[in-house]
Amino acid sequence: MKAQNEMSMSFESRSSNEGFARCAVSAFITQLDPTISELNDIKTAVSEAVTNCVVHAYRNTIGKIYINVKIKENSVVVIKVRDTGCGIGDIKQAMQPLFTTAPSDERAGLGFAVMQSFMDKVNVRSKVGKGTTVTFEKRLSCRVGNG
């Protein structure tokens, strides 16, 4: 499926950018006239993915976070959040609800569970020492014509 529109951005893994990232993505998606609930779902998933980069991928360091958003046919939105941080050794374990490697930071261990519950599809690819790419997809209730 070819993208009808696309946006990419990169920014530093500072926690102050978590709000910027979810608002920028939601501003791009607004052209599809999503419902408030759909927009909230996307903002939440982006926030979880970016927080993972800040807290885990680049723990105690600052690195770059890359986000790519594609709008495809039938109001399907595909969002990629990529880092070049530490990577995840055991993806299955990392995706278990309540599993966290940062309990001292009061992380609930729900990041991936939230992404899976709020999005239609979630895919995680990671290489230890190379980085992680999280891709998620959601089809919006198309209320306006495409284009």
Residues forming the site for other proteins (CB under 8 A): 15-16, 18-19, 22, 36-37, 40-41, 43-44, 47-48, 51, 54-55, 105-108, 110-111, 113-114, 117-118
Q: Counting every residue, how long is the chain?
A: 147
Specify the residue, 118 or 136, whose C-beta has the smaller distance to other proteins.
118
For residue 62, the Cα-to-chain-centroid distance in whole angstroms is 18
Q: How far is the CB of 64 from other proteins (least distance, A)?
A: 18
To the nearest 5 percent, what fractions of the chain are helix, strand and coil? 40, 30, 35
E strand intervals along 1-147: 3-12, 64-72, 76-83, 121-127, 131-139
Cα of first residue to Cα of last residue in the chain, in angstroms, is 15
Q: How far apart are CA 124 and CA 134, in angstroms?
A: 5
Q: How far is the CB of 102 from other proteins (least distance, A)?
A: 10
Is residue 79 classed as helix, strand or coil in its secondary structure? strand
Specify the residue, 35 or 146, whose C-beta has the smaller distance to other proteins.
35
Specify the residue, 45 or 77, whose C-beta has the smaller distance to other proteins.
45
Q: How far is the CB of 147 from other proteins (least distance, A)?
A: 30
Task: Give the catalytic positions in this structure.
Answer: 48, 52, 107
